[in-house]
């Protein structure tokens, strides 16, 4: 879907193959989220007209629409260079990820001049000794210099340097680390279910009617098949026929012994 929309051609580093953004871009963003937005939009319109309508949600078109910024900014100098050589696709030294001495990574997103100034200060560099921030021809050399500096300290050491600054430099955290990060802990961004499994809290958070997350484990596929079909008026005989025809499946939770 990202391929047919043209977006995949923009994803990847210089001199490398385009790479898939897991399945976040097409399945969830261009597909699920935009479909949900279409449903909400249609429900809102119904309050005025009293009529329903068909929602045509195409993942290809959804991904393409999400990339509107790429299309609209082509003539602004942001995407006129080959893949991996532009401002936001790993071409710029100040919008990149860098490996630390302990094999972890730091993410840098210091585009605005005031943020870039803080980045340079944290790296121990003098802006008077560096090329202009937007000197495209100097970006490869600058990236090498930034990489060599980041490789001299651990991720924790870089965090202590950049925490509390506006340098837009943050650690690249694993799933095992995010819940214990001080920012996420303060906002309760991640929750645990009754099986001690961590997952993101529902977002966005509404001030008056916030979602109340369930702390029960996720259901198994097919665990409530019969229960739901009975609620919708199917008889046990009809359900058994559907099961024997392999139209549906059941899954009973296993006891933890």
pLDDT of residue 2: 63
> What is the percent of the chain where pLDDT is above 90?
85
Query: Number of helices and strands (H, E) in the chain?
Result: 11, 5
Lowest mean pLDDT among 13-22, 35-44, 48-57, 111-120: 13-22
**How does strand 169-171 pair with strand 190-192?**
unpaired
In which band, very low, low, confident or very high, does the pLDDT at 77 lie, cut at 50, 70 and 90? Answer: confident
Buried b (16+ CB within 10 A) or exposed e, 222-256: eeebbeebeeeebeeeebeebbeeeebeeeeeeee
Catalytic residue check, 128:
no
129: three-class secondary structure by DSSP: helix
- 149-185 pLDDT, tens digit per residue, is 999 999 999 999 999 999 999 999 999 999 999 999 9
For all residues of the chain together, what is the average pLDDT? 93
Residues 78 and 72 sit within 8 Å (Cβ to Cβ): no
Instruction: Check 15, 27, 163, 245 and give the catalytic one.
Output: 27
Domains of the chain plus CATH, in order, are 7-76 (no CATH), 95-172 (3.30.1540.10), 217-256 (no CATH)
pLDDT of residue 74: 85
């Amino acid at each position: 879907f990202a391929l047919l929309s043209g977006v995949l051609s923009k994803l990847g580093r210089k001199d490398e193959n385009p790479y898939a953004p897991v399945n976040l871009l097409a399945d969830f963003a261009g597909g699920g989220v935009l479909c949900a937005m279409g449903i909400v939009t249609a429900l809102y319109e119904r309050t005025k007209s009293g009529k329903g309508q068909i929602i045509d949600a195409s993942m290809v078109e959804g991904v393409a629409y999400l990339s509107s910024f790429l299309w609209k900014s082509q003539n602004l100098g942001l995407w006129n260079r080959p893949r991996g050589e532009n401002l936001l696709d790993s071409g710029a030294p100040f919008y990149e990820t860098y490996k630390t001495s302990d094999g972890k990574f730091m993410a840098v997103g210091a585009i605005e001049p005031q943020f870039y100034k803080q980045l340079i200060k944290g790296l121990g560099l003098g802006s008077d000794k560096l090329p202009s921030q937007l000197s495209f021809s100097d970006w490869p050399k600058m990236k090498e210099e930034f990489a060599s500096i980041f490789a001299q300290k651990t991720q924790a050491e870089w965090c202590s340097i950049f925490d509390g600054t506006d340098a837009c430099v943050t650690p690249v955290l694993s799933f095992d680390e995010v819940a214990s990060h001080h920012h996420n802990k303060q906002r309760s961004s991640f929750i645990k279910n009754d099986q001690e499994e961590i997952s993101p809290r529902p977002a966005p958070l509404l001030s008056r009617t916030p979602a109340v997350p369930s702390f029960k484990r996720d259901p198994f596929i097919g665990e409530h098949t019969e229960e739901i079909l009975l609620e919708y008026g199917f008889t046990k005989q009809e359900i058994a026929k559907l099961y024997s025809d392999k139209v549906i499946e059941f899954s009973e939770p296993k006891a933890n012994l």
